[in-house]
Structure 1
């Protein structure tokens, strides 16, 4: 594909990001099916949750020229999502790139591939999601192939510039803002009800009775 460079996406409503940061991300898994990255992508550095705007980068497996450019223009709260074109051996994220992102106030970095300098990344503390680590790194070859702020693929998810990125130790959800808005109120309400549900379990109430699963099974057996 030729080089494509587009402007940063529009900002996400700060109030939406604030509300999204208050929900248990796993609760969203009760209401959404798409946008969850595969379990092969793990948080390898940082221990805080990620809430931010996706800035997308597509590189070739060996050349990180586009990523170096992107690292210099991200804005506070952005999450850089890197599509390595299917490459897993060459690590585009290391100490220098991640420091560049952190210095500009990025909320995190995601690479559908590997990272390097893992001890330095953990010391820095910026959340970094990757499939693993590697000593073999990308170079600045200047290959005329790649993109900035275009749709990319990341661990089974199509990521568009401006999508909302939510991440914790369990994984990542990357979704358009309107899809998140559609389920957020219900998910927040669920979170408020969960402590009472857990308390009833410890009082001896069966889970299937509380959730209705047992009644559903009995009805199915009758049918």
Structure 2
């Protein structure tokens, strides 16, 4: 396939207010309201701490060539998360110490590799959030192969990712979704988080979880005979 290079200036900018509010929510709470956009749980955080919130900058490379990733690292800015589609390869590491320093120097928020990374000790020292399937000694090269894309749709962790999507990550995993989809459930998720301490306190006072959440009543209703079939 030929190179598909799309202008980063055409990608929707990061909504700073929405990003700040998302940073306050417990990401697993969003899992109460959404079903799509959750990456393969095996795609784990290998470096960095805290909650990752940023705008996806998408890169697709071939298994052995990271030329496009080096180019993308020169273009990103504050709040960007580089999402790398390696075409299914999990042997060659396209991201290591130098690339992570390049991203950090430009203020990027993090990186997600649908593959493996290298220089894990250095990555942890830099502290930039990085998610990957693992590590490898075998690295990509700068072959300059005319195959790949920048800011075109990619696949990462089984999820279709478009440039400009929001990337949320922590030690539990990754969620990638359009900003509007996340904004639509954010108020409910934040309200749930605000209620959770009271719920936990009630449990330790002796209340039962099923009673508090209504699950027990639902089960009782399910067990009640249907008068229409009697």
2:94 is aligned to: 92
Question: What is the aligned counterpart of 1:193 among 195, 198, 223?
Answer: 195
Question: Would you say 1:132 and 2:137 are equivalent positions?
Answer: no
Task: Check whether the contact 2:65–2:142 (CA below 8 A) recurs between aligned residues.
Answer: yes
Shift in Å, 1:48: 2.2
Cα RMSD between the aligned structures?
0.7
Tell me the alpha carbon deviations over residues 144-184 of structure 1, each in whole angstroms, 9 at most, x when there is no partner.
Answer: 10000011000110000000111111111110011001100
Alignment size in residue pairs: 223
Moved over 3 A (4+): none
The reply to whether residue 7 of structure 1 matches residue 10 of structure 2 is: no
TM (normalized to structure 1)?
A: 0.99
Query: By how many angstroms is 1:12 displaced?
Result: 2.2
Q: Return 5+ residue gaps in structure 2 as ranges.
A: 226-230
- Answer yes or no: is 1:159 the counterpart of 2:153: no
Higher Rg of the two aligned structures = 2
Structure 1: unaligned runs, 5 residues or longer: none
Partner of 1:203: 205
Separation of aligned partners in 1, 2:23 and 2:124: 22
Q: Deviations over 1:179-213 (max 9, x none)?
A: 00110000001110000000000001110111111
Tell me how far 1:7 sits from its aligned partner.
1.2
Question: Which secondary structure does the structure 2 equivalent of 1:90 belong to?
Answer: coil
C-alpha deviation, 1:2, in angstroms: 1.4
SS in 2 for 1:47: coil
SS in 2 for 1:22: coil
Aligned position for 1:107: 109
- Name the SS of the counterpart of 1:110 in structure 2: strand
Deviations 1:71-116 (A, max 9, x none): 0000111000000001000000000001000000000000000000
Residue 184 of structure 2 is matched in structure 1 by: 182
Further displaced range: 193-202 or 9-18: 9-18
Calculate the TM-score normalised by the size of structure 2.
Answer: 0.96
The residue that corresponds to 2:228 in the other structure is: none
